[in-house]
Structures are given as structure tokens and as C-alpha cells.
């Protein structure tokens, strides 16, 4: 279509030039004027079709409006209309200024979130981003904002960041991190007191309250809120509580929790017995296989790690947490 327009536009202009030339040389008789008018109409028709075909698609709609504009401009202003349309319109459309694409786009530094964000809070980029703020930013206010943003992270991810902030050079940052860690500890202690009072009131015949008590003591170790002898004391209390729950009603999940506690206490034989009991009680390979691999690793039996991981299903192996482990060992 563009090739056809390149043919029609010069022809239309040539016909229009012939009509103009005939008028200039004196064809002013009625017959001459009618002939010039007919030549002018023919030239305009050819030119209009050529110009319309040369227009970009967006300018061709609506069809009637486009043709009407071209016809009015060329028919009623001979010969300037035809020349003006050809030079002005096409030159403006095809030689217009175009802004060059920018290689870089400057953006303002966004504020750290004080409200729950739309991204996944478990995302490694959010966690490591806050850590890098504490490590590399000289602005004290920015580091305080990073501490406040830890409220929207899971406790397991937030506690290491808060602990690293305890050595910050600014008193405000250290005190804020200490206050948030203390708040987490108080929350766990409050839940422990509530469970203790519930056990005293009901006796806990099914062991559910003792299982919850074991999980709360385990949380102190899991979150690394307790260190050294205090951590060992918390794990011992957690093991005693889960043993009481198992005595009242045994289950695969309770045996699995006991295995994890014993591994943390470095009682590996007891952990192995608990894992075997959990398997006999019907625990799936997807739940128990990672614990067998962990037990083999902490014992130093590295040849048993891969066989344990191979017991997992494809769905569990593709879990974002397990995928790096599977890629390393298998």
C-alpha cells in the first residue's frame, strides 16, 4: 500500500500542476474553465487516495472523516491545498521529533515499609535487604526504619536481624532492637503462663496442652532467643513436656517433635528412636526424610544423607526451602 501511495501522490500533484498551468496560460473561456475544473477534481481524487494510503493506521479512522478532511483541503484551495497536504502532513507524520529512549531512569530511594507489604515476607530479598541497611547505611534513621520493618517478617527471620542490631553504634537502634526482642520473649512467656494455668485447671488428659508447652519452650531455641545453658534448659523442659504429652496420647507428630528436640540436645540415639517410632505411626516420607538426612549430617554419616533425601516425593523436593539442599546432595 505504501508503494501505491508513492505512485499516486506524484501523479496527483502532476495532474494538479497541469490544471494550474492551464489556468495560468489563459484558459478562461467556459469550456476551458470546465476542463480545468475536471482536471483539478481528477488530480485531487488521485492525490486523496495516495495520501490516505500513506497515513499511519491510527489516522485512517474514521474512514469518512479522513477522506472528508483531505477532500475539503485539496478541492477548495487549489493548488495550495494539494501541495500543503503533501508537504505539511506527510513531513509532519514521518519526520516528527521522536524522544530517544533513556538508558537510565532515575528513581527516588523508596522508604522502608511501615505497613504490611504486598511482597512475600519470606522472600530472601526482603530479609537480606534489611540486613544490608543495618550493615551499610550511615543514616541512623534508616537503620531504625529497618528495625521497625522487622515486625512484618516471620520471627525466625526477624530475630537474627534484631540480634545483629544490638551491636549498632547508635543507642536508639540498639534500644529499639532490644525492645523488640524483649517483646517477643514476653509474648512467649505470657503464652507459657496461660498454658500452665490451663493445665492446672483441666489436667490435660489428652496431652494437647503439654504439647503446646513443649512447642513454646522449643520456640526459644528455634528463634535463638536462648543461648548456652539457658538454651539447654529450655530444650530440656521442652523434651519433658513432650514426653508427658506422649505418655497421655502418642502420635507421629509428637514423636517427630521429640526427635527434633533430641537432635538439638545432641542426644542422637534418642532422636533416632523417636524418628523410628514416628515412621511406625505412619508419618510420611516427606516429613520424616529431611529429619533422617539432618540426623545423618550432624552425626557425620554423610553417605546416608543422599539416600534419606531420595525418599522424598518430587513435590516436596521442589519446595523452595528444600531445593538448594536437594541440588547439593543429589
Three-state helix/strand/coil letters over the chain:
CHHHHHHHHHHHHHHHHHHHHHHHCCCCCHHHHHHHHHHHHHHHHHHHHHHHHHCCHHHHCCHHHHHHHHHHHHHCCCCHHHHHHHHHHHHHHHCCCCCCCCCCCCCCCCCCCCCCCCCCCCCHHHHHHHHHHHHHCCCHHHHHHHHHHHHHCCHHHHHHHHHHHCCCCCHHHHHHHHHHHHHHHHHHHHHHHHHHHHHHHHCCCCCHHHHHHHHHHHHHHHCCCCCHHHHHHHHHHHHHHHHHHHHHCCCHHHHHHHHHHHHHCCCHHHHHHHHHHHHHCCCCHHHHHHHHHHHHHHHCCHHHHHHHHCCCCHHHHCCCCCHHHHHHHC
- Where residue 76 falls among pLDDT bands split at 50, 70, 90? low
206's grid cell: 489428652
> What is the pLDDT at residue 154?
80
Mean pLDDT of 53-77: 69
> What is the pLDDT at residue 277?
92
pLDDT at 123 over 50: no
Specify if 163 maps to a domain: yes
Mean pLDDT of 189-216: 89
- Where residue 131 falls among pLDDT bands split at 50, 70, 90? confident
pLDDT at 148 over 80: yes
Same domain, 57 and 123: no
| Whether 177 contacts 215, CB under 8 Å | no
Terminal Cα distance for the chain, rounded: 61
Q: How many domains does the chain have?
A: 2
187's grid cell: 509474648
> What is the pLDDT at residue 95?
64
Specify if 256 maps to a domain: no
Specify if 269 maps to a domain: no
Highest mean pLDDT (candidates 41-50, 155-164, 300-309): 300-309
Same domain, 7 and 37: yes
End of a domain among 38, 65, 94?
94
pLDDT at 208 over 80: yes
> What is the pLDDT at residue 261?
92
Same domain, 52 and 25: yes
Weakest-pLDDT range from 53-62, 181-190, 241-250: 53-62
pTM value is 0.57
End of a domain among 94, 123, 158?
94
pLDDT at 5 over 70: no
> What is the pLDDT at residue 105?
74
Same domain, 16 and 87: yes
Same domain, 7 and 90: yes
Mean pLDDT of 284-295: 90
pLDDT at 53 over 60: yes
Mean pLDDT of 218-229: 84
Higher pLDDT, 106 or 312: 312
Residue 228 Ramachandran class (φ > 0 left, ψ -120 to 50 alpha, else beta): left
End of a domain among 162, 179, 200?
200
Q: Give the list of residues 6+ apart from residue 140 with CB closer than 8 angstroms, or none.
A: 170, 172, 173
Same domain, 117 and 72: no
Average pLDDT, the chain: 79
Same domain, 196 and 171: yes
Same domain, 157 and 82: no
Tens of pLDDT along 158-180?
A: 888 888 888 878 888 888 888 88
> What is the pLDDT at residue 117?
44
Same domain, 196 and 114: yes
Same domain, 78 and 157: no
From the list 135, 133, 130, the residue with the least C-alpha distance to 159 is 130
Specify if 184 maps to a domain: yes
> What is the pLDDT at residue 258?
92
Give the whole-angstrom CA distance, residue 65 versus residue 58: 13
Residue-number span of the structural domain to which 129 is assigned? 110-200
Specify if 229 maps to a domain: no
Highest mean pLDDT (candidates 73-87, 217-231, 267-281): 267-281
Mean pLDDT of 214-242: 87
Give the whole-angstrom CA distance, residue 29 versus residue 181: 104
Mean pLDDT of 260-287: 90
Same domain, 122 and 65: no
> What is the pLDDT at residue 124?
43
Specify if 251 maps to a domain: no
| Whether 163 contacts 224, CB under 8 Å | yes
> What is the pLDDT at residue 242?
92
Specify if 62 maps to a domain: yes
Same domain, 67 and 141: no
Specify if 37 maps to a domain: yes
Amino acid at each position: 500500500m505504501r508503494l501505491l501511495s508513492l505512485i499516486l501522490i506524484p501523479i496527483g500533484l502532476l495532474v494538479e500542476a497541469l490544471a494550474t498551468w492551464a489556468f495560468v496560460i489563459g484558459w478562461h473561456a467556459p469550456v476551458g474553465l470546465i476542463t480545468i475544473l475536471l482536471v483539478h477534481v481528477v488530480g485531487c481524487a488521485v492525490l486523496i487516495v495516495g495520501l490516505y494510503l500513506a497515513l499511519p493506521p491510527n489516522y485512517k479512522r474514521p474512514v469518512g472523516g479522513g477522506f472528508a478532511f483531505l477532500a475539503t483541503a485539496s478541492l477548495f484551495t487549489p493548488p495550495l491545498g494539494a501541495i500543503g497536504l503533501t508537504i505539511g502532513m506527510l513531513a509532519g507524520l514521518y519526520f516528527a521529533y521522536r524522544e530517544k529512549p533513556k538508558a537510565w531512569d532515575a528513581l527516588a530511594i523508596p522508604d522502608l515499609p511501615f505497613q504490611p507489604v504486598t511482597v512475600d515476607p519470606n522472600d530472601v530479598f526482603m530479609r537480606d535487604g534489611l540486613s544490608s541497611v543495618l550493615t551499610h547505611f550511615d543514616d541512623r534513621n534508616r537503620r531504625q526504619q529497618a528495625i521497625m520493618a522487622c515486625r512484618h517478617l516471620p520471627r525466625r527471620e526477624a530475630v537474627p536481624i534484631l540480634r545483629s542490631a544490638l551491636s549498632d553504634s547508635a543507642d536508639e537502634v540498639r534500644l529499639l532492637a532490644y525492645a523488640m526482642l524483649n517483646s517477643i520473649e514476653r509474648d512467649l512467656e505470657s503464652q507459657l503462663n496461660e498454658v500452665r494455668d490451663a493445665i492446672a485447671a483441666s489436667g490435660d488428659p489428652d496431652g494437647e496442652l503439654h504439647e503446646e508447652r513443649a512447642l513454646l519452650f522449643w520456640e526459644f531455641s528455634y528463634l535463638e532467643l536462648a543461648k548456652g545453658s539457658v538454651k539447654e534448659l529450655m530444650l530440656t523442659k521442652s523434651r519433658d513436656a513432650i514426653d508427658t504429652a506422649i505418655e497421655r496420647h502418642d502420635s507421629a507428630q509428637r514423636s517427630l517433635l521429640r526427635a527434633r528436640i533430641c537432635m538439638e540436645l545432641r542426644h542422637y540415639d534418642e532422636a533416632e528412636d523417636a524418628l523410628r517410632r514416628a515412621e511406625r505411626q505412619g508419618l510420611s516420607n516427606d516429613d520424616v526424610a529431611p529429619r533422617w538426612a539432618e540426623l545423618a549430617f550432624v552425626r557425620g554419616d554423610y553417605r546416608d544423607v543422599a539416600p534419606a533425601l531420595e525418599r522424598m516425593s518430587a513435590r516436596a523436593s521442589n519446595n523452595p526451602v528444600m531445593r538448594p539442599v536437594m541440588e547439593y546432595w543429589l
